[in-house]
Structure 1
Amino acid sequence: MEKRIVFLRIVLALMIFILAGRLFYIQVVKYNFYSEKAMEQRIKSFKISEKRGDIYDRNMIPFTDRDYKEYVFAIPKMINDKKRAAEILSEITEISSEKIREDLKRNKDYIRYEIRRDVDFSLPVGIFKLELPQRYSSNSLARHVIGYLGDKKMGLEESFDEVLATDASDSIAVFTDGSRNDYIKGLGVKIQTVHDKVFGVKTTLDYHIQKVVEDVLDRRRIEGAAVVLEVKTGNILAMASRPNFDQNRIEDYLKSSNEEFINKAVSGYPPGSIFKIIVAAAALESGKVSLEDTFYCSGSYDINGVVFHDFKGESHGLINIVKGFAVSCNTTFIRIGEITGAKAILDMARKFGIEKDDGLPIPEQIGRLPKLSDTYGAGIGNLSIGQGEVLMTPLQAADIVATIANDGIRNVPRLVEAVVDEKGEEVKRFPPRESYRVLESNTAKILRYMMRQVVVDPEGTGKRAETFCKSAGKTGSAEVNKELNIYHAWFVGFVPYENPKYSIAVFVKNGDTGGIKAAPIFKEIAEEIIKY
């Protein structure tokens, strides 16, 4: 009997010890966990905003969600004096109190208004302020690249929608009684964030260089585009198109004919004389033309009854390819085109990437070249001076120059580096495509020298593009309307001349000549980004 009593005492003591340990674990160790669970049973949440991954520049500076806007929220069921609440909200929002009173009567979980005027008095129970991120701000950059959200999407917002979209959200949490029907007003509200993995997109763009480019285009009120490439990598550092659009007011442009949604940086246009870069490359690389060969710049040239003219009929006399390039003599380059042959020129253009899809994650035209059969007779004249069926995008123009500046090796342009998490750690990388040689090193060196002469020759067409760090490039004036004297103006070039770092293409739609309109824009962009 005594043994049984002892055994029973031991079992009871053990059970009490286990029960005490369990109570200690629940009430002390897991106190916070169970407190939150209990509280959650008395909380009702309303989703107020969805989280979306950001789009960043190469240094993780965000292009999206940069600004915050302050809102006032009202929870009708928590408000006793709705008349007074409507008067307060009217003062803050500048909306009529009658309209707000009607809103408060509706069976809504909450009402949100944008704050128009701040007040310094305390708000009654059921009304509170909250700052929310704005996807796009009034001064957001790279809009044609970033794109927009809405019924339709555009740009990187569309291409990476599955990556950027998440289930994460911010919610208003209100405390309820046991039945969850009435709100406990004294406990107020709190903001809850429902976390999920939020991923962003890291681009190759440089926020500061992008801002320089856009500021220059806006100051000069340009309709056109500009692109900046990093010579050594092919990374797109800036891409801007004008006219611009407001990402928060997309509906305002749906019936517009001003081409606000068109990204001119990746749209094809007649290149005019910047195509002479390709003609010169083909002529020199094939050995059909040398620096010692001379041509007579006569002011006009007849091919089977079709007369081609130099700009304003100017004649420069006996010149070689370098001088002809510097003064952009059409008649000289048509003769060079005839000697080189259309096939060699077209093959060279394709090696530079014209008509090639480089797989950018935004809609991109791939340029256009004529069929070989279209270059017979007078067709070789149009091809040699970048007219007729030839189309090129500003991005492709910058790419051609970057290849020459990079000693003849083409780095395929790249726009996106990686998918990143909220800490900036890369979770998926997009490596650059394989580079390849387009030109022999010596040919690229000669072309760089020729492009330098465009800027420094006393008769050079690109004198207005000279910078404090020395620049090199080529002008282009693509004829749009001969009778009205309308041209697309181009300047494409690189800086600095001695150690090329940036390739820049400037395109002005329906502007003046390239030397007058586009070259000064190149100079301004180049000098500002070199200083940066």
Structure 2
Amino acid sequence: MEKRIVFLRIVLALMIFILAGRLFYIQVVKYNFYSEKAMEQRIKSFKISEKRGDIYDRNMIPFTDRDYKEYVFAIPKMINDKKRAAEILSEITEISSEKIREDLKRNKDYIRYEIRRDVDFSLPVGIFKLELPQRYSSNSLARHVIGYLGDKKMGLEESFDEVLTTDASDSIAVFTDGSRNDYIKGLGVKIQTVHDKVFGVKTTLDYHIQKVVEDVLDRRRIEGAAVVLEVKTGNILAMASRPNFDQNRIEDYLKSSNEEFINKAVSGYPPGSIFKIIVAAAALESGKVSLEDTFYCSGSYDINGVVFHDFKGESHGLINIVKGFAVSCNTTFIRIGEITGAKAILDMARKFGIEKDDGLPIPEQIGRLPKLSDTYGAGIGNLSIGQGEVLMTPLQAADIVATIANDGIRNVPRLVEAVVDEKGEEVKRFPPRESYRVLESNTAKILRYMMRQVVVDPEGTGKRAETFCKSAGKTGSAEVNKELNIYHAWFVGFVPYENPKYSIAVFVKNGDTGGIKAAPIFKEIAEEIIKY
């Protein structure tokens, strides 16, 4: 009997010891943990921002969330003197106190205003300041590439929406009483962050080169586009279109013609004389025209009653393909087109990528070529000078030049390198498409020489494109309205001449001739970016 009593006493003592140990663990060791858990049951949260993955340049410089903006938040249920609060908020936000008082009376969970004027006095309970990242700012770059968010999306924001969307967010947390209806004012507010994996998109764009291009277009106040490609890789280093748009005010453009949203860098336009690059390539590659062949330019050329004229009807006399290219002689190139044949020209255009979908993650037009049946008679005249049914995008124009500068090998243009994590480590890589040869090396060499003559020949149409690092290219003036003398102006070229690094296409909608309007823009861009 005594043994049983002793045993029960031991068991009871053991139970008391375990219970005491558990109480000590809960009340002392895990005090903070359970206190927070209890407090969480009395916390009410309001989501104020959602984290989204960033879009970066090739060096991990972000295009998005670059700037922060300071806001003032007000929680109506925590404010006793709403009249005084409205006066304070009015001073900070420059919004009328009457409007703010109405907002406070609506009994929202919280209201938020952008801070317009900073103040040095303390804010009452229920009002506080907070900085939040801005997806887009007033100086955001590459807007036609990055796109925008909203009811509808555009650009990379749309193409990579699933990648960029996360569950990470920031919330305002306020403490409530047991009913969770009244806020405990003395405990204030805190910011809660919900963490989640965040992935970004690393593009091929170069932030600094993109800025140079956009600054030049803005200074020139033109409507058009410019593209910069890296010759050795085909990577798109810059892509800009004008007019531009404000990514934070999309609704302002919905009642307009939507011209601001058109990415002219990947939209098709008549190329005019820059198409002579393709005609010359087909003629030389086929062997049907040599550098020794000469052509007589009288200033006009008749095909079945349709008369084609040189610019201002000027006669260039007896010239070869090099001189004809330098002075952009229409009659010479129509004759070269007839000798070469439309099929060879169209085949060459397709080898260069016209009418091909290169799979960019943004909408792009593929260009347009006439049917072979439409090139008979006067049709060969239009084809040979880039008029009629021919359409080309500025990106395609830069791509053609890059292929020639790269010794005849085409690197398919690329815009996105990889999906990356927050540390910049690549999670998924998008390798370049397979390169292929378009031209024999010698043909490409001749074309580079011809493009150099456009810039250095005393009569060359591209003299205004010459740079301190030596440039080469081709002008284009695509006729839009003959009666009103309206042209789309083009200049496409590469720099430096000896060791090509960049291919640049400049397009000015409804501008002037390419030599007058586009060539100086090319020069300005080239001389700025050559340092990168």
Please indicate, yes or no, whether the TM-score normalized by the shorter chain is above 0.5.
yes
Q: Post-superposition shift, 1:29?
A: 5.1
Q: Post-superposition shift, 1:19?
A: 4.2
Cα gap change, 1:167/1:258 in structure 2, threshold over 3 Å: closer, same or farther?
Answer: closer
Q: Post-superposition shift, 1:503?
A: 0.5
Spell out, residue by residue over 1:87-129, the C-alpha distance to the aligned partner (whole angstroms, 9 max, x if none).
2112212222222222222221111122222111101111111
Secondary structure at the counterpart of residue 209 of structure 2: helix
Cα gap change, 1:485/1:176 in structure 2, threshold over 3 Å: closer, same or farther?
Answer: same
User: Could you tell which deviates more after superposition, 249-258 or 510-519?
Assistant: 249-258
Q: Post-superposition shift, 1:194?
A: 1.4
Cα gap change, 1:499/1:22 in structure 2, threshold over 3 Å: closer, same or farther?
Answer: farther
Q: Post-superposition shift, 1:265?
A: 0.4
Aligned partners of 1:224 and 1:509 also within 8 Å: yes
Cα gap change, 1:466/1:27 in structure 2, threshold over 3 Å: closer, same or farther?
Answer: farther
Cα gap change, 1:258/1:193 in structure 2, threshold over 3 Å: closer, same or farther?
Answer: closer
2:66 alignment partner in structure 1 = 66
2:157 alignment partner in structure 1 = 157
Q: Post-superposition shift, 1:340?
A: 0.7
Secondary structure at the counterpart of residue 353 of structure 2: coil
Q: Post-superposition shift, 1:430?
A: 1.4
| CA distance, structure 1, for counterparts of residue 29 and residue 278 of structure 2 | 75
Please report the TM-score for the alignment, with normalisation by the length of structure 2: 0.96
Q: Post-superposition shift, 1:7?
A: 4.6
Aligned partners of 1:76 and 1:110 also within 8 Å: yes
Spell out, residue by residue over 1:241-297, the C-alpha distance to the aligned partner (whole angstroms, 9 max, x if none).
111111112222223237111111011000011001101111111111111211112
Secondary structure at the counterpart of residue 526 of structure 2: helix
Cα gap change, 1:2/1:254 in structure 2, threshold over 3 Å: closer, same or farther?
Answer: same
Q: Post-superposition shift, 1:154?
A: 1.3
Cα gap change, 1:219/1:37 in structure 2, threshold over 3 Å: closer, same or farther?
Answer: same
Cα gap change, 1:279/1:43 in structure 2, threshold over 3 Å: closer, same or farther?
Answer: same
2:205 alignment partner in structure 1 = 205
Q: Post-superposition shift, 1:449?
A: 1.1
| CA distance, structure 1, for counterparts of residue 103 and residue 346 of structure 2 | 67
Aligned partners of 1:282 and 1:344 also within 8 Å: yes
Cα gap change, 1:18/1:291 in structure 2, threshold over 3 Å: closer, same or farther?
Answer: farther
Cα gap change, 1:313/1:73 in structure 2, threshold over 3 Å: closer, same or farther?
Answer: same
Spell out, residue by residue over 1:154-178, the C-alpha distance to the aligned partner (whole angstroms, 9 max, x if none).
1111112222222222111001123
Secondary structure at the counterpart of residue 368 of structure 1: coil
| CA distance, structure 2, for counterparts of residue 333 and residue 22 of structure 1 | 95
Aligned partners of 1:296 and 1:316 also within 8 Å: yes
| CA distance, structure 1, for counterparts of residue 193 and residue 85 of structure 2 | 27
Cα gap change, 1:119/1:418 in structure 2, threshold over 3 Å: closer, same or farther?
Answer: same
Cα gap change, 1:105/1:296 in structure 2, threshold over 3 Å: closer, same or farther?
Answer: same
Q: Post-superposition shift, 1:212?
A: 0.3
Secondary structure at the counterpart of residue 318 of structure 1: strand
Spell out, residue by residue over 1:475-522, the C-alpha distance to the aligned partner (whole angstroms, 9 max, x if none).
111111222221111000011111111110000011111111100100
| CA distance, structure 2, for counterparts of residue 61 and residue 25 of structure 1 | 49
| CA distance, structure 2, for counterparts of residue 198 and residue 279 of structure 1 | 49
Secondary structure at the counterpart of residue 428 of structure 1: strand
Q: Post-superposition shift, 1:12?
A: 4.8
Spell out, residue by residue over 1:353-381, the C-alpha distance to the aligned partner (whole angstroms, 9 max, x if none).
00001111111110000000010011111
| CA distance, structure 2, for counterparts of residue 258 and residue 435 of structure 1 | 36
| CA distance, structure 1, for counterparts of residue 487 and residue 258 of structure 2 | 18
Q: Post-superposition shift, 1:35?
A: 3.1
Cα gap change, 1:235/1:23 in structure 2, threshold over 3 Å: closer, same or farther?
Answer: farther
Q: Post-superposition shift, 1:8?
A: 4.7
Spell out, residue by residue over 1:186-220, the C-alpha distance to the aligned partner (whole angstroms, 9 max, x if none).
11101111122222211111111111000000001
| CA distance, structure 1, for counterparts of residue 61 and residue 29 of structure 2 | 41
Cα gap change, 1:56/1:313 in structure 2, threshold over 3 Å: closer, same or farther?
Answer: same
Spell out, residue by residue over 1:68-96, the C-alpha distance to the aligned partner (whole angstroms, 9 max, x if none).
22111111111111121122112212222
Q: Post-superposition shift, 1:13?
A: 5.5
Q: Structure 1 regions of 5+ residues with no counterpart?
A: none
Aligned partners of 1:163 and 1:199 also within 8 Å: yes
| CA distance, structure 2, for counterparts of residue 209 and residue 19 of structure 1 | 70
User: Could you tell which deviates more after superposition, 28-37 or 139-148?
Assistant: 28-37
Secondary structure at the counterpart of residue 138 of structure 1: coil
| CA distance, structure 1, for counterparts of residue 139 and residue 219 of structure 2 | 14
Secondary structure at the counterpart of residue 205 of structure 1: coil
2:264 alignment partner in structure 1 = 264
Aligned partners of 1:455 and 1:473 also within 8 Å: yes
Q: Post-superposition shift, 1:25?
A: 4.5
Aligned partners of 1:243 and 1:258 also within 8 Å: no
Tell me the C-alpha RMSD between the 2 structures: 1.7
| CA distance, structure 1, for counterparts of residue 32 and residue 232 of structure 2 | 55
| CA distance, structure 2, for counterparts of residue 28 and residue 360 of structure 1 | 60
Q: Structure 2 regions of 5+ residues with no counterpart?
A: none
| CA distance, structure 2, for counterparts of residue 31 and residue 232 of structure 1 | 63
| CA distance, structure 1, for counterparts of residue 185 and residue 341 of structure 2 | 85
User: Could you tell which deviates more after superposition, 368-377 or 143-152?
Assistant: 143-152
Secondary structure at the counterpart of residue 510 of structure 1: coil
Secondary structure at the counterpart of residue 61 of structure 2: coil
User: Could you tell which deviates more after superposition, 206-215 or 151-160?
Assistant: 151-160
| CA distance, structure 2, for counterparts of residue 221 and residue 237 of structure 1 | 22
Secondary structure at the counterpart of residue 386 of structure 1: coil
Aligned partners of 1:410 and 1:437 also within 8 Å: yes
Cα gap change, 1:182/1:36 in structure 2, threshold over 3 Å: closer, same or farther?
Answer: same
Secondary structure at the counterpart of residue 498 of structure 2: coil
Give me the identity figure in percent: 100
User: Could you tell which deviates more after superposition, 256-265 or 26-35?
Assistant: 26-35
